[in-house]
Amino acid sequence: MNLDPVILAELQRGGPPPWVSGRTYLKGWEVRSLVNLQRYVRKVAGAGDTDPSADAANWEPWSKTVDTTLAALGTSVANVKAVADALAVTLANVKGTADTINATPRGIKSIQRGVTTVTGGATSINVTIAAVNLAKSRLSLLSSFAWNADNAVYSKASLAFVNATTIKVEGFYFVSGIGPYAESVSWELIEEY
C-alpha cells in the first residue's frame, strides 16, 4: 500500500494526516483541518470538497468527543461528591445521636434493701432511705406471711412511699383477743435512671 507522503509524515509523527479534498474517508477516520489545524473524526464514510471545520454533517471535532466525555466525567464526579457530602452529614448525625444515647444513663441507678421489724406494739414504722426520684422508683416486698382461715391469727405486711427519703413499712401478725405482734419485713427499693 502506498501512502501519500504528507499522510505518511503525519502518521509517523503521531498526529492525524491533513484533510485532502476529494479523498474518500472511512467512518472513524481522523484528519487535521487545513483551515484551523484542529482534529476531526469522520461520522460517515465518504468524500467531499468541504473542509471538516465547515462540514458538521460529515465531520465531528475530535475534541468534542473528549470534551463531552470530560463534561460527563465532571458531572459524575460532582454527583459522587454530592453523595459523599450527604453521607458525611448523615454519618455526623448518626454519630451525634449515638453519642447522645451513650451519654444518657440508663438502667438501674440504685438499689436499697432492708429488713425492718416493727416493734413496741406499733403496726408500722417510717424508714429513712437515700433520696430517690419517686417517678422512677419501685418498692418490692420480699417477705411472706400466712393468714389463718379462722381469723384467730392473721398477718399483714405492706410498703408505701411517704416521700423521696422515707418509706412506710407495715408488718405484724395479730392474735385474736391478744393483739398485734411484730414481724420482720424484708424490702427492696430500685431506682432507675
Residue 76 lies in a domain: no
Looking at residue 64, what is its pLDDT? 66
Residue type, 31: V
Residue 165, domain CATH: 2.60.40
**pLDDT attached to residue 32:** 92
pTM as predicted: 0.47
Residue (of 37, 39, 38, 21) closest to 29 by Cα position: 39
In a domain, 91, yes or no: no
Determine, yes or no, domain membership for 18. yes
Give residue 32's domain range: 5-64
Q: Is residue 88 part of a domain?
A: no
Is residue 102 a part of any domain in this protein? no
pLDDT at position 175, please? Answer: 77
Compute the distance between CA of residue 52 and CA of residue 33 in angstroms, rounded to an integer. Answer: 6
pLDDT value at residue 41: 93
Cβ within 8 Å of residue 159, ≥6 positions away: 139, 140, 141, 167, 168, 169, 170, 185, 187
Q: What is the mean pLDDT of each run of 10 residues along the chain (193 residues)?
A: 63 81 93 91 94 94 73 86 91 89 87 90 90 96 71 79 96 79 90 94
Considering the domain architecture, whether residues 180 and 122 belong to the same structural domain is answered as yes
CATH code for the domain of 48:
2.10.10.20
Quick one: pLDDT at residue 52? 95
Q: Which long-range contacts (CB under 8 A, 24 or more apart) does 75-84 make?
A: none
How confident is the model at residue 1, as a pLDDT?
55
Are 40 and 33 a contacting pair, CB within 8 Å?
Answer: yes
The answer to whether 182 and 119 are in contact (CB under 8 A) is yes
> What is the distance between the alpha carbons of residues 65 and 70, in angstroms, rounded to a whole number?
8
pLDDT of residue 191: 96
State how far the alpha carbon of 157 is from the alpha carbons of 22, 51, 123, 142, in Å. 116, 110, 9, 10
Grid coordinates belonging to 133: 426520684
pLDDT for position 67: 66
